[in-house]
Amino acid sequence: MNDVLRQWHPGLGPKLADFYRDLHRHPEVSLAEHRTAAKVAGALEPLGYQVTTGVGGTGVVGVLRNGDGPVVMLRADMDALPMQEKTGLPYASTDPAVMHACGHDMHTTCLLGAATLLDRAKDSWSGTVLIVFQPAEELSTGARAMVADGLFDRFGKPDIVLGQHVGPLPAGMVGYGSGPIMATSDDLHVTLFGRGGHGSRPETTVDPILMAAHIVTRLQGIVAREVHPSDTAVVTVGKLHAGTKDNIIPDTAELGINIRSYAEHVRVQIKAAIERIVRAEAAASGTEKEPLIEWHTSAPLLVSDPDRTAATVAAFTEHFGVENMFPMPVVTGSEDVGIYGEAAGVPTVFWFWGGIDRDRVLNALATNTVNSLPSNHSPEFAPLIEPTLRTGVETLTVAALTWLGAGG
């Protein structure tokens, strides 16, 4: 394995760093990853990969066949977020409305690095490497779109799916969990119907703002009072819209709610509790019209296969040293990577790796201020280029070699 990783030299690191800075400067939101996809395809083509673009929208697939053996899929996501960057980096986004705040530019660059190493080191493994650059992870729709566009029929079904996410851990460290590691995410949109009127004559109205306020408060009781204390769950009201003017009582109010859960029975329990509370508060307000409740896309529970994870983590530990391995608590974030394994009926192994200066994290730990470190989706999220890049290339390469066949 070390022979393969020595191929990092000469010069791959600086080349990838340039590629990363370019992606970071030019972020593209979900389903608009045209420039990014073209750059990725352009970099993959000169290697030995058979490259196909436009899979599931802007997705890019690379296939490297190298004799008999397992098919190992490596996946990265490419989309950025609709927000303004405030890192002050010299290579900050050139678009004031879009930022790579989740590190998907780092994921993309590391996958390209791993694809390069695996191509350079073809003597040391056998099988097929399936490289997947996915659009629209932030909408939880990209993985589904690629599968629906015939990903596995057209390019072959993998034996295992591998992926990773960069986060606010010390740079150079690898975080791992086993079994359910990231939450199921469900969104719902609620429209409340009241009766509008003049702000000075509330007796002629049914006020949907008061109705919404009671619902927001009451929803906080689901996790606090109804879910078992040993189960992890989150209910967040992320949107609340009503009204146009101080002295008008509007006739509708809208709520956007997101829930995260780790077990199907908890998910079912929370969904039922939200519907019960919304309907009951509407009834308590004396409204004549039932609220409209719409459930939207959800990301599935992400399960890192326990046996495959144990073997992959053992390979990481051998390569990086046990001092660089970090057992993770459950993450309440979500990922749509689980859709591939689910669709193909094969195991997924997923891990995290760090992008924040070690001393900064240690300092934050010492002063109990870890929550103030900029994490994913913060306008100040700025992974250190090194050693983050090299670590992310090596994790993917080590994991791929763990599951590919031995070379001849």
Quote the least distance from Cβ 168 to Zn ion, whole Å.
12
Quote the least distance from Cβ 331 to Zn ion, whole Å.
11
Q: Across the strands, what pairs with 53?
A: 60
Residue 171 contacts Zn ion per CB under 5 A:
no
- Report the distance separating Cα 44 and Cα 157, nearest Å: 21
Quote the least distance from Cβ 77 to Zn ion, whole Å.
6
- Report the distance separating Cα 101 and Cα 30, nearest Å: 13
Quote the least distance from Cβ 299 to Zn ion, whole Å.
11
Interface segment toward Zn ion; rule CB under 5 A; list 85-93, 96-104, 187-195, 233-241? 96-104
- Report the distance separating Cα 342 and Cα 147, nearest Å: 10
Q: Which of 27, 192, 199, 210 is nearest to 107 (CA)?
A: 27
Coil, strand, or helix at residue 193? strand
Quote the least distance from Cβ 137 to Zn ion, whole Å.
6
DSSP state letters, 69-102? S-EEEEEEE--BBSS---S--TT--SSTT-B--S
Residue 215 contacts Zn ion per CB under 5 A:
no
Helix ranges restricted to H, 254-337: 264-285, 306-320
Quote the least distance from Cβ 131 to Zn ion, whole Å.
18
Quote the least distance from Cβ 291 to Zn ion, whole Å.
30
Residue nearest to Zn ion (CB): 102
- Of 133 and 152, nearer to Zn ion (C-beta) is 133
- Of 134 and 397, nearer to Zn ion (C-beta) is 134
Give backbone dihedrals phi and psi of 230, rounded to 5 degrees, phi first. Answer: -85, -5
- Of 71 and 102, nearer to Zn ion (C-beta) is 102
Quote the least distance from Cβ 289 to Zn ion, whole Å.
36
- Of 253 and 382, nearer to Zn ion (C-beta) is 382
Interface segment toward Zn ion; rule CB under 5 A; list 95-103, 178-186, 203-211, 265-273? 95-103
Instruction: Please give the residues from 224 up to 283 whose contact with Zn ion meets the rule CB under 5 A.
Output: none
Q: Show the binding pattern over residues 59-88: x = contacts Zn ion (CB under 5 A), - = does not.
A: ------------------------------
CA dihedral 162, 166, 172, 177 (to 10 degrees): -60
Q: Which are the contacts of 127, defined by CB distance < 8 A and separation ≥ 6? A: 66, 67, 68, 69, 70, 71, 72, 404, 405
Quote the least distance from Cβ 165 to Zn ion, whole Å.
6
- Of 312 and 334, nearer to Zn ion (C-beta) is 334
Interface segment toward Zn ion; rule CB under 5 A; list 51-59, 92-100, 102-110, 217-225? 102-110
The b/e string for 335-355 (b: 16+ C-beta within 10 A; e otherwise) is bbbbbbbbbbebbbbbbbbbb
Interface segment toward Zn ion; rule CB under 5 A; list 100-108, 167-175, 183-191, 274-282? 100-108
- Of 37 and 121, nearer to Zn ion (C-beta) is 37
Quote the least distance from Cβ 138 to Zn ion, whole Å.
5
- Of 165 and 319, nearer to Zn ion (C-beta) is 165
- Of 205 and 391, nearer to Zn ion (C-beta) is 391
- Report the distance separating Cα 375 and Cα 392, nearest Å: 17
- Of 102 and 121, nearer to Zn ion (C-beta) is 102
Residue 102 contacts Zn ion per CB under 5 A:
yes
- Of 102 and 173, nearer to Zn ion (C-beta) is 102
What distances in angstroms separate CA 61 from CA 239, 258, 261, one per listed residue? 36, 32, 31
- Report the distance separating Cα 351 and Cα 313, nearest Å: 9
Q: Given CA atoms 316, 322, 323, 329 in this order, what sign does their dihedral have?
A: positive
Binding-site residue total for Zn ion (CB under 5 A)? 1
Q: If DSSP states are collapsed to H, E and C, what string results for 106-174?
A: HHHHHHHHHHHHHHHCHHHEEEEEEEEEECCCCCCCHHHHHHHCCHHHHHCCCCEEEEEEEEEEECCCE
Residues of the shown chain interacting with Zn ion in the complex, contacts defined by CB under 5 A: 102
